[in-house]
Amino acid sequence: MGGTPTRRAFLKWTALGAGVILLPIGVGSGYLWAQASRGNVGRVVFASPLRIPPLASVSAGADGRRVIDLSVQEGRIQLRPGGVARTWGVNQAYLGPTIRIRRGETIAPRVRNLLPEPTSLHWHGMELPAASDGGPHERIAPGDIWEPVWRIDQHAATLWYHPHLHGTTKEHVYRGVAGLLLVDDDNDPGLPDEYGVDDIPVVVQDKKFTGDGALDLSGISFGGIDVVGMLGDEILVNGTWGPLLSIRRELTRLRVLNASNGRVYRFVFDDRRGFHVVGTDAGLLSHPIAAEEIQLSPGERAELVVRMRPGERIRLCSEPPDLTGSLIHEHFAGGDDRFEILQLDAAPELESSEPLPTALPSAPPVAVPAPGRELREFALGEFTINDRTIDMHRTDLVVETGSTEEWRVRNTTDTPHNFHIHNARFDILAIDGQAPAITGPKDTVYVRPGTRVDLRVHFGQHADPHTPYMYHCHVLAHEDAGMMGQFVIVDPGTAPPGTTDRGMHSTGGS
Ligand SMILES: [Cu+2]
């Protein structure tokens, strides 16, 4: 499905890359090089109050189910000064409400597709039955309502939801279909937790706009100079251009989500002040870790706690990320780009905050796999995993309920990729053999060109031999080009007939 266009895009890109190499002082290459330099430093007026997504309203259904109505719809909104954009969103014009749910509760979203085309909603980071996962198999036709249901059984975490139809994910997310999904549990971590006051959603997206303020979708696929698909030169936070956050308390928790299609950010404050990382994708760390920067690739989250003094003004920025590709690939993947993202203005007097706790109620480390369980290896190719693109009728892997596994993911290319596993959380054991600086529960990891990451993966417990979960690159243009694989979870000894699970050498299905 994605094979031919993918290869064509790659060849076009390769030819372009060769052109840049062969014409180092040529006008054309210089133009392309300059065109790919993006950033907004000095161009943004931080004067719009940061939009805080409303909390989704919840009604009580049968058996105490928490019913949440979500309408995926078209809208119009001013995203940037100077015009109105036609957008998509959930229950509103752009982005969606923040869903807040507690461990032990049963959630029953009612997802109504009011768009003119099919979509889906995937609950990124959730452990849940495959049929409720909202991947490419759970297609919602225009006018239809999809009603998944599952019991929340995982640690507190900052998750999110977004469409996941094969081939159109990048466009649906880019138009604005995405939102946060916060899981709470019974452990009080002692962190700032008043939503919109000192517990702030920070959904970061890069965009391109046309002159009249509309979203520019022209570069959303390959075919240009972007090796990671579209990269924008403007930033929205929660759909706000030039966002300003008024700070009322000494400590503020920022739940940062990189909801961009292909851009990697290296978040820092403009005065290089330190902050504490308290959470990663799949939940809290075991203790706060002091840091001055944190890099997030598409789909990754981090919870940061920053301390401010009365009257201070600081900006959250993004410095050129460490992508570690070739010089050319780095440049065209956004590796030289610099952004100002969010201004934080502290009030003249700040309310005091509880001191930051020294220990946090983290998920336990993922258990060592049972003896004899083989390491699985995944080679990320240009837009392939183990030399293949997705086949929706092929089961690539079979995982047993209750098991943990070690997965090794290598990026064999010069192109930035990352790797996300559905219905799972994992610990990063090593990156090229070295322990990572920040260790916390994850579901998405950046895989630098030429490097190898070793993961220990815990899977959700719902057996369903017929409905697959996905693993894939979360650079949305790559994912849409077919850089995905499928696995099913079965009870031990019940691998479905017709599937052959041979890890990277699997040849099952079509
Ligand atoms: Cu990729």
Residue 36 pLDDT grade (very low, low, confident, very high; cuts 50, 70, 90)? confident
Mean pLDDT of the chain: 91
CA of 478 to the centre of ligand 1 (A): 5
Question: Cα of 260 to ligand 1 centre, how many Å?
Answer: 13
Using the mean position of ligand 1's atoms as its centre, give its distance from the Cα of residue 447 in Å.
9
Measure 18 CA to ligand 1 centroid, in angstroms. Answer: 21
3-state secondary structure of 11: helix
Least confident among 224-238, 304-318, 370-384, 478-492: 224-238
The rounded Å distance from CA 344 to ligand 1 centre is 33
**Ligand 1 midpoint to CA 388 (Å):** 13
| Strand 294-296 versus strand 265-269 pairing type | antiparallel
- C-alpha of residue 311 to centroid of ligand 1, in Å: 42
484 CA from centroid of ligand 1 (Å): 9
What is the whole-number distance in angstroms between the Cα of residue 207 and the centre of ligand 1? 19
Task: Write the pLDDT tens digit of every residue in 220-238.
Answer: 875 556 789 989 999 999 9
The whole-number pLDDT of residue 37 equals 67
CATH 2.60.40.420: which residues of the chain? 52-184, 376-495
Residue 502 has pLDDT above 60, yes or no: no
| Cα–ligand 1 centroid distance for 84 (angstroms) | 32
Q: State pLDDT tens for residues 129-185.
A: 999 999 999 999 999 999 999 999 999 999 999 999 999 999 999 999 999 999 999
Q: Predicted confidence band at 23 (pLDDT cuts at 50, 70, 90)?
A: very low
CA of 262 to the centre of ligand 1 (A): 8
Report helix angle 27-35 to 3-22, nearest 10. 120
Q: Where are the alpha helices (DSSP H) in 23-104?
A: 27-35
Question: 280 C-alpha to center of ligand 1: Å?
Answer: 21
* CA-CA-CA-CA torsion sign (474, 480, 485, 488): positive
Q: Quote the ligand 1 centre to 426 CA distance (angstroms).
A: 19
Decide if pLDDT at 506 tops 60: no
> Which DSSP string do the residues of 196-211 spell out, in sequence order?
TTTEEEEEEEEE-B-T
DSSP-derived secondary structure letter, 464: E
The pocket of ion ligand 1, defined by CB under 5 A, consists of 417, 473, 475, 478
Give yes or no for residue 427 having a pLDDT over 70.
Answer: yes
Å from CA of 400 to ligand 1 middle = 27
Fold of 52-184: Immunoglobulin-like (2.60.40)
From ligand 1's centre to the CA of 399, what distance in Å? 23
Q: Lowest mean pLDDT of 5-19, 378-392, 438-452, 454-468, name the range.
A: 5-19
Residue 165: exposure state from Cβ atoms within 10 A (0-12, 13-18, ≥19): buried
**Distance from Cα 410 to the centre of ligand 1, integer Å:** 12
Over residues 54-80, the pLDDT tens digits come to 999 999 999 999 999 999 999 999 999
What is the rounded average pLDDT of the residues 270-285?
98
Whether domain 376-495 has CATH 2.40.40.20: no
